Amino acid sequence: MNRISKSQLAAIMLIGDAFALFCLHGRICVMTAVGFAAGSLIQLFLALPLARLYDSGRTLADCGRAVRIALLAYVLIWGGSLFAMLWQTSSVIYIPYEGSGIWGRLLTGGLIAAVCVYVSSSGIKALARSAVIAAGLGAVCVAVVVVSAGIQSDMSNILRPAGSDLPRELIRGFAASGGLGSFVVLLGFTDSDRTDAAALYFTCKAVLSFVILFTAVMVTGGIMDVLDLPVASAAQLSQPFPVQRTDSLFLTVFAVFAVYTVAVQASAAEYLAARTFPCLRRFRCTLALAVMVAVGALIGSPSESTGIYAAAGLAVLLIVPAEALIKGGIRKHEKA
């Protein structure tokens, strides 16, 4: 039985969220941290109908083809965005050969895709188990960065004029939550109470987002105007030892999280493709990753179309319950 526990679901999803935060583009302030955390709690409320629906025994297989295609498209587009974010962020992280033009970028993307093919093909249980270990290691590394950042942070950065408001940061938070497509798929695999699972995940996500962004603001607040990638830069700037750099710690977490984030999207896409296009019997995962790389090369990162990504993310959470509601209404009408 391919069932995962709620903590495994939370680990898988949080890795994706942490990766999206590492790649976050543009200015951030305390309001960003508040907006992202509040956005996670709003997402929790929006996810409750879906969790209830799954708890009542409904599965994605019961949904209409159009819903599954919409979900698949979203997952593939977000997967592509992840590659775009990866390439964008690697400009501030040293990856061998990455800087040598398009071929270097393709090599980086290709290597990650190759590992993702293997990780995804091992099955959802293996992915979930290994994601928990990766998330644990990631948590340790993030803790090291947060603690060392805390020592070197400047509290006055919190009070700097933000030039941003809560609704705008909420929308940014929604746009960075592209993993919601795979959440819709993976919630169906959870073996325990789905409402509990959703609550655990979104609560952890709110805390994680707040801690990471708040720390990044404290470290990079003073030089925010010259930074493209504040979270990644904050990790580089917050060195725990005076004569020893620990960038490799961040690079390791970054690469591992990149693999798991993309692999989760590929697994979700594979699952949806299998149920939507039964004629696709083999290489579904490879095909999904190829589409993601192509999409990543064509489109930009979510920071360029925040509104569209935010709206799509919220729609994904509501699409399955909405369809069930409409179908139920039609059935009632027919009976009447």
Partner 1 sequence: MTRKEREKLPIRSGLRDNIAMIKELSGDSSDVLINEFTTGGIACALICCEGMVSSQTAAEMILTPVTGIAPQGSAAELFRHIQTNLLLSTDRPEVRDYDTLFRLLNSGFAVLIADGADCALAFGVQGYASRGIQEPSGEGNIMGSHEGFTETVRTNMSLIRRRLKSPELVMELMVKGERSRTDICLCYMRDRVPERLLDRIRRSLDGIKLESVLSTGYIRPFLEKRSFELFSSAGVTERPDVLCSKLIEGRAAVLVDGVPYAITVPRLLCESFHTLDDYAYKPYYAVFGRWLRYAAFLIAVLLPAVYTAIVMHHPELLNSTLLMLLADAEKDAPLPILAEALIVLLMYEMIREAGIRLPKPVGGAVSIISGLIIGDAAVKSGLVSTPLLTMTALAVLGGLVVPDLAPQVTVLRLAFLVAGGIMGVFGISLLACAVLTNVCATEDYGFPFTAPLSPFSAAGTGDTAVRLGMRRMLRRGFTVEAYHEQDK
Site membership for partner 1, residue 245 (CB under 8 A): yes
Side-chain-facing half-sphere of 282: CA atoms under 13 Å: 0
If one asks whether residue 228 binds partner 1 (CB under 8 A), the answer comes out as no
Contact residues for 54 (Cβ-Cβ < 8 A; gap 6+): 187, 188, 190, 194
Question: Is residue 243 part of the contact set for partner 1 (CB under 8 A)?
Answer: yes
From 20-28, 36-44, 130-138, 172-180, span contacting partner 1 (CB under 8 A):
130-138
Residue 22 in contact with partner 1, rule: CB under 8 A: no
Smallest distance from the beta carbon of 266 to partner 1, in angstroms? 13
Nearest distance, CB of residue 126 and partner 1, angstroms = 3
SS in 3 state form for 98-161? Answer: CCCHHHHHHHHHHHHHHHHHHHHHCCHHHHHHHHHHHHHHHHHHHHHHHHHHHHHCCHHHHHCC
Tell me how many degrees the CA angle 238-241-245 measures, rounded to the nearest 5.
70
Q: Contact between 164 and partner 1 (CB under 8 A)? A: no
- Cα 202 from Cα 211, distance rounded (Å): 14
CB atoms near residue 136 (< 10 Å): 11
Q: Which stretch binds partner 1 (CB under 8 A): 55-63, 216-224, 247-255, 265-273?
A: 247-255
Q: Are 268 and 181 in contact (CB under 8 A)?
A: yes
Residue 134 touches partner 1, criterion: CB under 8 A? yes
* Near partner 1 by CB under 8 A: residue from 88, 164, 203, 252: 252
Q: Should residue 92 be labelled a site residue for partner 1 when binding is judged by CB under 8 A?
A: no
Determine if 259 is a binding residue for partner 1 (CB under 8 A): yes
Euclidean distance between CA atoms 172 and 158, whole angstroms:
19
Q: Does residue 211 belong to the site contacting partner 1 (CB under 8 A)?
A: no
3-state class percentages of the chain: helix first, strand second, coil last, to nearest 5: 80, 0, 20
* Span from 12-20, 42-50, 242-250, 305-313 in contact with partner 1 (CB under 8 A): 242-250
Which member of 21, 132, 146, 292 binds partner 1 (CB under 8 A)? 132
- Token duo for residue 286: 């490879």
Q: Which residues bind partner 1 (CB under 8 A)?
A: 1, 5, 7-8, 94-97, 108, 111-112, 115, 118-119, 122-123, 125-127, 129-130, 132-134, 191, 241, 243-248, 251-252, 254-256, 259-260
